[in-house]
A and B are shown apart, each in its own frame.
Chain A
Amino acid sequence: MRFIWTIGILLLSSALQAQDSEDRWKKTGSPETYLHHIELRDERGQIITAEDDSTKLPHMGETCGPCHDMNKASGGLHGGAGPHGSPGEPWFIVDSKTATRWPFHPRPWPGLTTPSDLGLDPEDLLQNFGAYDTGGSESMTGQASDCLICHLPDGYDFHRRSKMLDQGKSALAAFVAAGLFEPSGKPVSRLWDESGKVTLNLKGDAGPLACLQCHTSKPATANQASPHWSHADDVHLAAGMSCVDCHRAGIDHHVVRGKEGEIHPTGAEIKALSCRGCHLPDGEAVMHSAPRPEHRGLPPFHLEQMSCTACHSGPDLNHLGEKTWTSRAHQLGIPKQGRSSEDPPSIYSGILALDDQGRWAPHHQGWPEGWIQIAQANESEAVLSPAEMRTPLRRILRVRSDLLEKIANTDDDSSREERSTSAFLNQANPPTALVTGGSAWRPAPGDFLQAEPSDLAQPVQWTIGHPVRPASMSLGSQGCTDCHSSTTSWPLLMSSPDPLIRIRSHTDGNPLRQEQLRTTNVFDSVLWDLWKPIFPARDLAKFYFLTCAFLASAAAVYRFLSIMTGRHG
């Protein structure tokens, strides 16, 4: 009996503690933004004053901790924790010394290499990718959460943050970017008021630009010579919505990804937070103004077998399959001279492939480029990290800064790139191949390179969600021939990048790429070609069938009535 009492008391006290810990956090309960008039604290929780010197560095957890549950806030999907879910955008390591442009991600998504496979430690990751990682308990770069980058809509200097990370000052980066501290660590004293507090206009939803800092993609071909008039606001943003209206999260930062069939880590009901869930709900409408599309004349299997984004998202018809820049892969937001569409890595947009729900959906597609160890008797093929390749490349080819520059063809020698690579591969130990252009290239007699298929040379792809186009700009808005015509190749589109180096055999047509094109596509190209000529005559077919149907039906009714009434011969 005493045992039961003990268990009961323990359960009651833990329930009360849990209640206490939930109640501990302050909430205004109002939709109005709470103006943060707060003290900044160092890692020991001591208040930093305007007069303090640079030895007292601010600490995000201690500063926000008195009012917010920082343990929860530092986790969540956005902090690298939680279930892996369907593949998202990978990171790309770009290393000019070894001509490596390799996609990877800490989450074990199919076809992706992990940071450790590429020999990247948290310090490398922080240096190369820290600017675009908001930090968190499971953050790839190991840095603490930067709350301000997402929640301070005005005055956060992304470039300053990046520079601070380059200098290895990750703890100070957020506060310098917010303008609260000098890069030296000294407080910007004019921002402190008489009570020793600073005022920050922090917002739960800081607006789309806060998200777009790291989650933008735009055509790489946009330049002055050929303007690409892309006022490509997402239709939802144009309607006044914000990213977090659908990609919601609580303090736990388990941001809803908005994918169909997604299961939220908290078990929350999020069915309505996907395209179909909001616009084609099973029952009553979810959002007051979400248009419910009718898709008149569209054969229903299109809705069953294609994602909504296949027609409503991704680049428009004239820019399908073009190179794309993404914030994270091309470091958008950081000023750089000489940006070009040729900047690595090569990412192509609007490639149709099956998503994790088995539906055709537009994808971004990126190709790995770099070095792999060829499969041996007891070892499978494996990626060779830039760190592993630098020494042999320096020793054999004397590469010090940029491999492609070092071995570039000249006017007198149009095969230097291929010969140099072949010579290097002949001497490399372990046996090595260059992955580029969708193949693994090995040395062949006569200083040539020959292509071989490799799983590691396959492209990585991730679905395109935004920007979403309105119905009037979607595929099919001009009729079936938007897709079903002899001039549209979109559904059969497959990116096929040129190799990093000019390879003589490649110019004759690389059969591997043709084979890849034929087999990796989601469509039966023969069937597709058979359908093509039918659609331009669709209006004629409508007239034909309508005439036949009405004539036959009218005559059948007459015949039936005649026979029923016995008035026939």
Chain B
Amino acid sequence: MKWIQRALIPLLILAMLTAIPGIPLGVDLRGYPLLLHLGVGTLLAAILAIVMVTTPPTGSRLQAFAWLLICIGLLALMVPLMGWADSEASHRWLESHGWISIAGLGLLGLSAKQSKASSSSEN
């Protein structure tokens, strides 16, 4: 089970890296980067669900909020994927998916930095 947990952060980072070509506003991720992003994302979605469901809630409030954002980011993707929005709105949902996920990953990094700082001050 631990390897799954360990794989989660590298996969998140990999997903973000493969999404870089889609970061400029108004640009959709497509082509080879999208294929890679989908490949990473397919694995990541399952691992994220398993980790969220099976591991006990621990960590700081910031960390919990970061994970919540990452999961909401995934949920935002469902709207265009399921055809619940028209094409123009899909564009905004896809951008939301990206920015919410990036914000979550950023906060996760921040929480890790804070916990590292607090543990070193305790030592």
A residues with a Cβ closer than 8 A to B are: 294-303, 524, 527, 530-531, 534, 541-542, 544-553, 555-560, 562-564, 568-569
Q: How far is the CA of A560 from the CA of B92 in the complex (A)?
A: 26
Q: How far is the CA of A276 from the CA of B42 in the complex (A)?
A: 35
Which of chain B's residues have a CB closer than 8 A to the CB of A300?
28, 87-88, 90-91, 94
Q: How far is the CA of A301 from the CA of B30 in the complex (A)?
A: 8
A296 touches B85 (CB 8 A): yes
Which of chain B's residues have a CB closer than 8 A to the CB of A558?
57
10 shortest interchain CB distances as A-B pairs: A297-B83, A294-B86, A555-B52, A295-B87, A548-B45, A556-B71, A559-B57, A300-B91, A563-B64, A551-B49
State the main secondary structure of chain B at its contact with A.
Answer: helix
Q: How far is the CA of A547 from the CA of B30 in the complex (A)?
A: 24
Q: Point out the residue from A298, A534, A550, A569 that lies within 8 Å of B58, measured CB to CB.
A: A569
Assuming the contacts A297-B80, A563-B61, asked whether A556 and B68 have C-beta atoms less than 8 A apart, the reply is yes
Q: How far is the CA of A564 from the CA of B74 in the complex (A)?
A: 22
Which of chain B's residues have a CB closer than 8 A to the CB of A303?
87-88
State which residues 28-50 of B face A: CB under 8 Å. Answer: 28, 30-32, 35, 38, 42, 45-46, 48-49
Closest to A558 in B: B57
Contact with A along B76-101 (1 / 0, CB 8 A): 01101111111110110010000000
Q: How far is the CA of A542 from the CA of B78 in the complex (A)?
A: 8
Which of chain B's residues have a CB closer than 8 A to the CB of A552?
45, 48-49, 52-53, 71, 74
Closest to A547 in B: B49
A563 touches B77 (CB 8 A): no
Q: Point out the residue from A534, A549, A569 that lies within 8 Å of B74, measured CB to CB.
A: A549
Q: Which residue, of B35, B42, B45, has the highest number of chain A Cβ atoms within 10 A? A: B45
Which of chain B's residues have a CB closer than 8 A to the CB of A296?
83-87
> Distance (Å) between the CB of A568 and the closest chain B CB?
4
> Distance (Å) between the CB of A312 and the closest chain B CB?
14
B68 touches A548 (CB 8 A): no
Assuming the contacts A552-B52, A552-B74, A557-B68, asked whether A298 and B87 have C-beta atoms less than 8 A apart, the reply is yes
A564 touches B64 (CB 8 A): yes
Q: How far is the CA of A470 from the CA of B82 in the complex (A)?
A: 23
Assuming the contacts A548-B48, A552-B71, A556-B68, asked whether A294 and B87 have C-beta atoms less than 8 A apart, the reply is yes
Which of chain B's residues have a CB closer than 8 A to the CB of A544?
42, 45-46
Assuming the contacts A548-B48, A553-B71, A569-B58, asked whether A560 and B65 have C-beta atoms less than 8 A apart, the reply is yes
Q: How far is the CA of A115 from the CA of B77 in the complex (A)?
A: 56
Q: How far is the CA of A550 from the CA of B64 in the complex (A)?
A: 17
Assuming the contacts A531-B35, A548-B45, A550-B75, asked whether A559 and B86 have C-beta atoms less than 8 A apart, the reply is no
Assuming the contacts A299-B90, A300-B88, A563-B61, asked whether A542 and B68 have C-beta atoms less than 8 A apart, the reply is no
Assuming the contacts A297-B80, A556-B68, asked whether A548 and B57 have C-beta atoms less than 8 A apart, the reply is no
Q: How far is the CA of A434 from the CA of B61 in the complex (A)?
A: 78
Q: How far is the CA of A534 from the CA of B71 in the complex (A)?
A: 24
Assuming the contacts A296-B85, A527-B31, A559-B52, asked whether A548 and B46 have C-beta atoms less than 8 A apart, the reply is yes
Which of chain A's residues have a CB closer than 8 A to the CB of B81?
297, 542, 545-546
> Distance (Å) between the CB of B92 and the closest chain A CB?
9
A549 touches B87 (CB 8 A): no
Closest to B41 in A: A545
Which of chain B's residues have a CB closer than 8 A to the CB of A524?
31
12 A–B pairs (Cβ distance < 8 Å), ordered by A? A296-B84, A298-B90, A299-B90, A300-B88, A301-B30, A527-B31, A542-B82, A546-B81, A548-B74, A549-B77, A556-B72, A560-B64
> Distance (Å) between the CB of A178 and the closest chain B CB?
49
Q: Point out the residue from A551, A557, A564 that lies within 8 Å of B61, measured CB to CB.
A: A564
B28 touches A299 (CB 8 A): yes
| Residue B59 is within 8 A (CB to CB) of chain A in the complex | yes
Q: How far is the CA of A379 from the CA of B106 in the complex (A)?
A: 64
Which of chain B's residues have a CB closer than 8 A to the CB of A299?
28, 30, 80, 87, 90
Closest to A566 in B: B61
Which of chain A's residues have a CB closer than 8 A to the CB of B60?
563
> Distance (Å) between the CB of A300 and the closest chain B CB?
4
> Distance (Å) between the CB of A307 and the closest chain B CB?
15
Which of chain A's residues have a CB closer than 8 A to the CB of B46?
544, 548
Q: How far is the CA of A562 from the CA of B67 in the complex (A)?
A: 13
B49 touches A555 (CB 8 A): yes
Q: Point out the residue from A295, A555, A562, A564 that lies within 8 Å of B53, measured CB to CB.
A: A555
Which of chain A's residues have a CB closer than 8 A to the CB of B71?
549, 552-553, 555-557
| Residue B24 is within 8 A (CB to CB) of chain A in the complex | no
Q: How far is the CA of A527 from the CA of B35 in the complex (A)?
A: 9
Q: Point out the residue from A294, A302, A527, A545 that lies within 8 Å of B78, measured CB to CB.
A: A545
Which of chain A's residues have a CB closer than 8 A to the CB of B80?
297, 299
> Distance (Å) between the CB of A27 and the closest chain B CB?
43
